[in-house]
Structures are given as structure tokens and as C-alpha cells.
Structure 1
Amino acid sequence: MRLAIDHQTRYRFSEPQQRLVQTLRLTPGDTHDQTVVDWRIDVDCDVRLRDSIDGFGNRVTMLYAEGPIDRIELTVAGQVLTTEADGLVRGSNELLPPPMFRRTTARTTPDAMLAEWARDTAGSGEVLAQLHRWNGALCQRFPEAADRPDRGATAVEALEGGDPDCRDLAHIFIAGVSALGLPARYVSGYRNCGEGTCPPHGWAEAWVEGLGWVGFDPSAGISPDANYVRMATALDFNGAAPIVGIRQGEGVEELSVELQVERMNGDA
């Protein structure tokens, strides 16, 4: 499948900023089932961009802008070829061994109730089947999870609040997998939702011995298919967020995001 992506992020500041420094995880990497055909990041003002690879193997662009700046617009556009892999992640840039992802963060640490629910739901038997049962249970319990700006909730807080978004569900999934004693991680990326306009998305991956990393999207109850584009992985959303940064200046900022993910005609 050939997916065309157009992602625009606009910042407006009530007072001119002296300096901006941002970390952009907005460039997908190639795998056996994901090939970047064309990709570019454009900025509507004078900036310095520096590309690198972070500790998780993600492609990162550092953005530096000197003020005064009262607005800045980032445009990410490109095309990605994807193939169906039943959720398997093959040929990704892995710098860390799977056991590293047994570590939990403040956002992925289960409490006793979450851990018990995950173990009871997963049951026994083949590991992959356990993970699919856990993934399906989350989707069944929260079938209307939205894609919305991150609120910073932990897995436990999101579960207790009863209104998790896609990122929250990924964190809850990871926390449950941790209770099962398996490595798991967060994934940020894009999803073709069939409507043209699609919010940025997040899901999870778990390590299955003998298979490798396998993706799970509890907001949809499936493993990611050819409609998904992986961007970055980390222990939680904080480490895989598309854009994070700091600014020097007074006032408040206003953020708007527009994203279109479309399947192109005559694709592979």
C-alpha cells in the first residue's frame, strides 16, 4: 500500500520568543514492510536542522530557531510503501536488547488491580494468544477511545478515569504486558483511517520469543496492518512524542495540527 502523508503543525505565540529548540521525531525509518519513498520536513522561517539517531534507534531532527519568533509552521510530507505483516516488525533499527523494555516508567507501571486484570484476561497458554486476548479486552472495554492531544495521564490514572485515549490505551497495554513479565514499548506514528483527515496515532509492541516484536493497537483491537506507519518507539509516549521542545520567551502558545493520511491510487 502506498500512503501519502501531509502533517502540518502550527505554533502561535502571544509574545515574540527569543529562541526555540525542538526535538522532531517526524521521520519514519525503513523496515522489511515499510519503505520511505519520499520524505521532507519544511519550516516557514529560518532555522537550523540537525539529523541524528537517538538511543532507541529513532530518526530524530533537532530544530534550532533564533528570535524574535511570533509564529512557526512545520510541514512534514511524504510517501511510504507498506505491506501486510500481521503485526510483525521485521528489519527495524534495534539498538537495545528486548529485556531493556521490561523497564516501566511512571506512565506504564501497573498497580495491583491492573496487573490482576491483565493476568486474568491473558490467561495461560501460547504467549501470542495471551497478548491478543489482552489487546482485545482493552478494545472491548473502551471501544470509543479517541485520538487527542496527550494529557500526561499514567496507565493507572487513565484506567481509573474511564475515558482513555489511544495513547492511554497503549500505556495500559504496556503496563499489563509488564505484569505478564514480557518486554513492551510504545509506538508513535500514523494510521490511515479511511477519512483523509486522521489524528496522530499511538499503539504498542510486545516481544514474543521466536517471533520478535509484534504490534498491538488496543484502540482498534487489532495488530497494525498496512494502514499504519511507524515513526518512533520508546518506553512510553514521552520518549516517542513527535514534537517536544523548549522556548525562551514570555506569553502563551497556541498549537494547531492538521494531518492527512491517504491511500494513493495504483499503489503497491
Structure 2
Amino acid sequence: MLLKINHETRYVYDTPVQYGLQQVRLRPKERRGQAVKSWNLEVEGGKVELSFEDQHCNHVDLISIEKGRTEISIKCTGEVENTDGSGIMGTHSGFAPLWYFQQSTNLTKPGPETRKLLASLGEDFESDVARLHALSAAVVKKVAYRTGRTDAETDAETALKTGEGVCQDHSHIFCAAARLLGFPTRYVSGYLMMSDRVDQDATHAWAEAHIQGLGWVGFDVSNGYSPDERYVRIATGLDYREASPISGMRYGSASEDMIVTLQVQQ
């Protein structure tokens, strides 16, 4: 499946920004089943200072905001061709060893709620894949998909207590619980082509667990299945902070509004 993506993120500030930097992870990865045919990143109100690969082999562009600007736009356009691998990414590679993906972070630290969720699963599963699919289903049953109830700083335990969240929260909970079960697990950010519309509200997030004999396998907790050819994988990490599409800092007291336009179509 050949997917065309148009994605613009515009930041508007109420006073001029004197200094700011953004780490941008918006270049798709070449990987099993995913071929990047073309990709272009344009910046208005800033410039790319340097580009590099981080410890997860994510493509990162470091963008500075032009001094005195009240607006910056980051626009990505491109085409990615995918094949359906039933969510299987295969053998582990990259700079970070597998044991690295078994450690918790502030956003994925397990607690009493995570352990109660695991206890509800039981023990009788025919395979690790079946166990992890059951975990995925249990997460979305416990935490209904609702926007506006959580934010980028909400951790897995808080989302479980709240009982509502979005794909970021579902992925964090899955990571926290799967790591307790002994699976190396990572957070994935990317794009998903929805079947009922071209315009999307935001980028998407899911999780991948490393299973003996299969390698990395994806689980889209929010939608209840493994990623297929409609998914474009952008960045991976231990949690949202390591795989977020855009993160950064700026000096000054300016407040910020963010406007996102995103189209994903075949």
C-alpha cells in the first residue's frame, strides 16, 4: 500500500521568542515492510541546525527558532510504501540492547493498578502472543478512549486510575505491564490511515514487545489489533518522551498555541 502524508505543525506565540530549539522526529524509518519513497521537511520561522540518529536509530532534526519570531511552522510531505507483516517487525537491531527496553520510566513505572490489571488476565495462554493480545484488550477495557482527560505528562498508573485516556496512555500502560511480565517493550509513534477519513486529528501511538522466536511484534492497544500496511512507523523509545514527534525548549514567558493539520491517504 502506497500512503501519501501531509503533516504541518504550527506554533504561535503571544510574544516574540528570543531563543528556542525543537527536536523533531518526523522522518519515517526504513524497516521491514516499510519503504520511504520520498520525504521532505520544510521549516518556516526557523532552520535545521543539524540532523542525527539517536540511540533508537530515530531520525532527529534539531531546529532553532529564529530570534523575534511569533510563529514557526514544520511541514512534512512524502510517500511511504508498506506491506502487511501482521505486526511483526522481526530481529532486534540498533544501538540499544534488549535489556534496555525492560526498564521503567517515569511515564511507564508500574504500581498497584498495573499489577491488578495483570492479575485479572489469569495464567492460561497458549502462547506469548496470545498473552500480550489479552493484555492489550484488558488495557482498553479498563481505560476507555477519551480525549481531553489526560496530557503528555500523564503516567500509566494515573491513566489506569482515571479510567480514560488516549493512544499514548494505552501504550504506556501496555509497556509498563508487559515489562513486568518480562518482555522488552517499546513505545512507537507514527501515522495511521483511518478507513473513514483523510484528515486526521493527530499522529498515532502503539507499542511493540519482543517475543522469543518472533522478534519485535506490534500491538495497537487503542484499536485492538496489530499494525498492518496502514501504519507508518516514525520513532521508537522507552516512552512518549523518547519517541515524541516534536519536543523542545525556549527562553521567555511566551504562551504557546499549537495547530496541527494532518492528512494520510492511499
Task: Give the TM-score band, short-chain normalised.
Answer: over 0.9
Aligned to 1:164: 165
Q: List 4+ stretches of structure 1 deviating above 6 A.
A: none
Q: 1:53 to 1:211 in 2, by over 3 A?
A: same
Q: 1:151 to 1:31 in 2, by over 3 A?
A: closer
Offset, 1:140: 3.5
Alpha carbons 1:147, 1:201 under 8 Å: kept: no
Amino acid at match of 2:72: I
Where does structure 1 lack aligned partners over 5 or more consecutive residues?
Answer: 264-268
Structure-1 separation of matches of 2:94 and 2:149? 29
How many equivalent pairs are there?
Answer: 263
Offset, 1:152: 1.1
2:229 aligned counterpart, secondary structure: coil
Alpha carbons 2:25, 2:59 under 8 Å: kept: yes
Aligned to 1:76: 76
Task: Give the TM-score of the pair, scaled to structure 2.
Answer: 0.93
Amino acid at match of 1:33: G
Aligned to 2:117: 117
2:66 aligned counterpart, secondary structure: strand
Aligned to 2:193: 192
Q: 1:64 to 1:208 in 2, by over 3 A?
A: same
Deviates more, 1:134-143 or 1:219-228: 134-143
Alpha carbons 1:190, 1:230 under 8 Å: kept: yes
Select the residue among 248, 258, 261 that pairs with 1:245: 248
Where does structure 2 lack aligned partners over 5 or more consecutive residues?
Answer: none
Percent identity over the alignment?
35
Structure-2 separation of matches of 1:21 and 1:50? 11
Alpha carbons 2:117, 2:138 under 8 Å: kept: no
Amino acid at match of 1:188: S
Alpha carbons 2:121, 2:134 under 8 Å: kept: yes
Mapping 1:29-40, distance limit 5 Å = 29-40=29-40
1:181 aligned counterpart, secondary structure: coil
1:100-155 CA-to-partner distances (Å, cap 9, x unmatched) read: 10001111111133223224416244211110111122234445355998431110
Aligned to 1:266: none
Offset, 1:95: 1.8
Offset, 1:92: 7.3
Q: 1:92 to 1:60 in 2, by over 3 A?
A: farther
Q: 1:143 to 1:225 in 2, by over 3 A?
A: farther
Structure-2 separation of matches of 1:186 and 1:242? 12
Select the residue among 254, 257, 262 that pairs with 2:260: 257
Aligned to 2:41: 41
Select the residue among 202, 207, 214 that pairs with 1:204: 207
> Going by fraction, where is strand more abundant, 1 or 2?
2
Offset, 1:229: 0.7
Amino acid at match of 2:265: E
Task: Give the TM-score of the pair, scaled to structure 1.
Answer: 0.92
Structure-1 separation of matches of 2:7 and 2:175? 27
CA RMSD of aligned residues (A): 1.9
Amino acid at match of 2:193: N
Q: 1:61 to 1:100 in 2, by over 3 A?
A: same
